[in-house]
A and B are shown apart, each in its own frame.
Chain A
């Protein structure tokens, strides 16, 4: 693996507020979670980065910070906790797929399909969830150091979830899953949709490869559920050179640091996927999906990749439709 950036965890700790030497190093970290996993001293580097960033000014926010602005705007509004008639014990939160679809229209990905597919698959499993109209989970603003905005979103969402009376929260996004599980104190069960999908009983005849999103894999330790969801439905899984806890990062997280270094990471990951020979790259995070498809749809790309990048739920729902 080629080294693409000078960021080192040790230097960002030594040059931090802790030692009175605040530098910009903490902002170049992608928070992929590989350092704390490899650290022999078990330093919780992710929490360090999260706390150190608090109140600071992010260095390099992608898309001119449109998603941050949207989250901040919605955090300042009252919102409407409307009571719906469904009294399902399951709640499904689609995440920010709507705004991703609206503001990333040049990535050529139908983000809304993740929601419709998830609902189709849940329907097949006999789960009729209540679709939650919460505000953004606040993942991006939290990692961008805007703790005040995150707290406002969190307070609203916790209130909303209490009002809704659900006992299981299903998300189809790895980032929401991490945030609701680790950064909220909900007291209800939070599950990622991939943990339910192994009982679909599909007969897929395809070779696929799977990319572990950092939020689902290293942050939450869910490696086997999405793989099982693919293999138990008949798909042949071809692992990439780096997979599971060794998986490479898709390059960008929390809409920060979209630059040439992270592009090199994306290319490295896409090359590994190409090398497996599978025709579909599957992931479970809408951000990874956006970043890979962004690289794929670049007009003047040096390399052309001839495989599709799709979300796990979209892939399974398409197979479900085809099998009917």
Chain B
């Protein structure tokens, strides 16, 4: 996808997506198989459950200069581990509150995407990319 994209000087965000193995990763797979287009701004990391994503991972990603972090899991009630995504919701919301003090809360997003929602996956990526583009680059400073 990267090779075909026209070369522009426009800001291209770097988004890290944690996708749960059972729903969202399969959803991303379906988006690819069905050839739903979405911007090449996202790097997908597969985790077994959305609740595997520790706040420390998110903070570390932002610290290293990632422009946005997306956590995608199964819909509430559909979790492969029964209530993993409920725990994830609590955690991510708490992390959001902590990030709000630093003004970075809009760079973190939690979405529920099931295995059959390939189209939705591409829409979420498109929407999040637009939002990050509006926010601009991650304000963390380079340090020597």
Binding site for B on A (CB under 8 A): 63-66, 69-70, 72-74, 76-78, 98-99, 102-103, 105, 148, 152
Count CB-based A-B contacts (< 8 Å).
Answer: 50
Among all A-B residue pairs, the 4 with the closest Cβ atoms? A69-B59, A66-B56, A64-B56, A102-B94
Q: Does B134 contact A (CB under 8 A)?
A: no
Chain A residue at minimal CB-CB distance from B143: A76
Chain B residue at minimal CB-CB distance from A70: B59
Residues in B with CB closer than 8 Å to A73 are: 59, 62-63, 102, 104, 140
Residue of B56, B101, B102, B139 ringed by the most chain A CB atoms within 10 A = B56
Residues in A with CB closer than 8 Å to B98 are: 70, 98-99, 102-103
Q: Does B45 contact A (CB under 8 A)?
A: no
Encode B100-134 as 1/0 by CB contact (under 8 A) with A: 01111000000000000000000000000000000
Q: Are B141 and A105 in contact (CB under 8 A)?
A: no
Q: Are A78 and B141 in contact (CB under 8 A)?
A: yes
Known pairs A76-B143, A105-B90; A63 contacts B56 (CB<8 A): yes
Q: Are B141 and A76 in contact (CB under 8 A)?
A: yes
Residue of B55, B62, B103, B104 ringed by the most chain A CB atoms within 10 A = B55
Secondary structure of the B contact surface, majority rule: helix
A74 to B102: give the CA distance in the assembly, Å: 7
- Which of B60, B95, B97, B141 is close to A77, meaning CB atoms less than 8 Å apart? B141
Can you sample 19 A-B contacts with CB below 8 Å? A65-B56, A66-B54, A66-B56, A69-B56, A69-B60, A70-B98, A72-B59, A72-B63, A73-B104, A76-B63, A76-B140, A77-B103, A78-B141, A98-B97, A103-B55, A103-B94, A103-B98, A105-B90, A152-B143
A59 to B101: give the CA distance in the assembly, Å: 29
Closest beta carbon of chain A to B71's beta carbon, Å: 15
Chain B residue at minimal CB-CB distance from A61: B56
- Which of A63, A77, A98 is close to B140, meaning CB atoms less than 8 Å apart? A77
Residues in B with CB closer than 8 Å to A98 are: 97-98, 101
Closest beta carbon of chain A to B52's beta carbon, Å: 12
Residues in A with CB closer than 8 Å to B140 are: 73, 76-77
Closest beta carbon of chain B to A296's beta carbon, Å: 21
Secondary structure of the A contact surface, majority rule: helix
Closest beta carbon of chain B to A222's beta carbon, Å: 29
Given A70-B59, A76-B140, A98-B98, 5 more pairs with CB closer than 8 A: A64-B54, A66-B54, A73-B102, A74-B102, A99-B98
Closest beta carbon of chain A to B34's beta carbon, Å: 36
A64 to B55: give the CA distance in the assembly, Å: 9
Residues in B with CB closer than 8 Å to A70 are: 59, 98
Encode B80-108 as 1/0 by CB contact (under 8 A) with A: 00000000001000110110011110000
Closest beta carbon of chain A to B61's beta carbon, Å: 9
Residues in A with CB closer than 8 Å to B101 are: 98
Residues in A with CB closer than 8 Å to B97 are: 98, 102
A78 to B103: give the CA distance in the assembly, Å: 11
Chain B residue at minimal CB-CB distance from A68: B56
Encode B55-85 as 1/0 by CB contact (under 8 A) with A: 1100110110000000000000000000000
A105 to B98: give the CA distance in the assembly, Å: 13
Closest beta carbon of chain B to A239's beta carbon, Å: 38
Chain B residue at minimal CB-CB distance from A152: B143
A72 to B141: give the CA distance in the assembly, Å: 11
A102 to B97: give the CA distance in the assembly, Å: 8
Residues in A with CB closer than 8 Å to B59 are: 66, 69-70, 72-73
Closest beta carbon of chain A to B31's beta carbon, Å: 31
Q: Are B63 and A69 in contact (CB under 8 A)?
A: yes
A74 to B63: give the CA distance in the assembly, Å: 8
Residues in A with CB closer than 8 Å to B56 are: 63-66, 69
Residues in B with CB closer than 8 Å to A76 are: 63, 140-141, 143
A152 to B63: give the CA distance in the assembly, Å: 14
Q: Are B95 and A102 in contact (CB under 8 A)?
A: yes
A103 to B55: give the CA distance in the assembly, Å: 8
A201 to B125: give the CA distance in the assembly, Å: 60
A148 to B56: give the CA distance in the assembly, Å: 20
Q: Are A105 and B63 in contact (CB under 8 A)?
A: no
A64 to B58: give the CA distance in the assembly, Å: 12
